[in-house]
Amino acid sequence: MPTRPPGFARRCYEPLLSTRMQTSSSRLIELDFFRGLVLLVIVVDHIGGSILSRFTLHAYALCDAAEVFVFLGGFATATAYAALAERRNEAIARQRFLRRALEIYRAFLITAALMLLVSAVLVALSIDAPNMTTDDLNEFISAPLAGLRDIVLFRRQPYLASVLPMYTFFALTAPAILPLARRKPWLLLAGSVALWAVARPLQGYLPAVEDAHWDFNPFAWQLLFVLGALARYQPVYQRVAAHRFGWLVSLAALAIVIAAAYYKIFIESSLPDGSLKQNLSWLRVGNFLAIAWLVANLIRMGIAKKLAQWLPWVGLVGRKGLLCFIAGAVISLVVDSLLYTVTDGYLNIPLGLLADAIAVSALLLVAKASVPLGRVLAPRVRIPA
């Protein structure tokens, strides 16, 4: 069982502790809920004609579900590492996360292959949509060995597979990051911020084919992963929230969230520069931290737990994280392409709602099907969560 901070810290952070090594009777359903909610949001956000995506985080904030996912990844990774190091030792914990990096790398290869395969099938059916990986597919068909090499070396990252190389990077660096988060948090934070500040020029050293780039610069996004790990090990939220002037921080966070929403809804007139997300701009970080602070208050008040209990199917998706991410990538690409073809790229509310229902239901079915399948395959193969 993971070690939990006592008293006030326990009440604040217990809902977010990793459930990976816990028994089903003692799972902390809030973390599963948030992970599942983010995965569902990622699916609908990548469907251009989605109606639900008009009401998700990116529509009202300068950040989106990606920030939440990376932050929770850092928090959950820190918890799992600490639990394994305590039950066994740090050497075994380091080995486990090296294996985890290989699991994520394997998931990247599977997702990349599925993106190419689905695009090939859609092309064969004379379906043409903007998010299909036709360029990568054409390069792969013209030079299969070179195309395979580029994917294996992260030089090509077909569509939604592009987030997984970053996670592989995080898993590889976790054994170095997490001990610092526990013992020398200020040193780790200073190093992380410094790396984030120079992330843009460092991106040029990442492997990529000509005229291509990583959609997520890991040198920048590591900041949120580190902040998630620090939130697990260091009781900053508890101390500030317990202070008599802690409410002022919540008030400031609320003001930031409202200001960002006003700008997003009433002022922004064009799509934001993609590099702001790619390199994790300070505006996105600030907006996310304000949102995270308010959500932490909801967790402390028990509201998140009630939501998780009312919507258990969301937590089911969260418990099958990596599997549902792979499935969600395929679902998004298929539903988005079909919807685009049927509507000629124009917004259609009934068809958009139907697409949302199909996408959400399909991801839920994958999560449900994986439960009995996991029991059958458990002696041989562990379906990654």
Query: Is 61:261 a contact under the CB 8 Å cutoff?
Result: yes
- Tokens for 151, please give them: 């994917």
75 domain residue, yes or no: yes
384 domain residue, yes or no: no
Burial class (CB within 10 angstroms; exposed 0-12, middle 13-18, buried 19+) of 198: exposed
1 domain residue, yes or no: no
**Could you report the per-residue pLDDT of 140-190, keeping only the tens digit for each?**
999 999 999 999 999 999 999 999 999 999 999 999 999 999 999 999 999
Percent with pLDDT over 90 in the chain = 77
125 domain residue, yes or no: yes
59 domain residue, yes or no: yes
Calpha distance 124→109 (Å, rounded): 23
pLDDT at 295 (0 to 100):
95
Residue range of the domain that includes 166: 7-377
- Determine the average pLDDT of the residues in 339-351: 96
Contacts (Cβ under 8 Å, ≥6 apart) of 179: 90
Instruction: Determine if the pTM surpasses 0.75.
Output: yes
Percent with pLDDT over 70 in the chain = 89
Q: How many domains does the chain have?
A: 1
**pLDDT top residue among 372 and 208:** 208
383 domain residue, yes or no: no
**Could you report the per-residue pLDDT of 355-367, keeping only the tens digit for each?**
999 999 999 999 9
2 domain residue, yes or no: no
- Determine the average pLDDT of the residues in 225-248: 93
**Could you report the per-residue pLDDT of 294-344, keeping only the tens digit for each?**
999 999 999 999 999 999 999 999 988 899 999 999 999 999 999 999 999
As a residue count, the chain comes to 385
**Could you report the per-residue pLDDT of 12-71, keeping only the tens digit for each?**
433 333 333 333 333 568 888 999 999 999 999 999 999 999 999 999 999 999 999 999
- Element of type H or E holding 325: helix 321-343
164 domain residue, yes or no: yes
**pLDDT top residue among 375 and 111:** 111
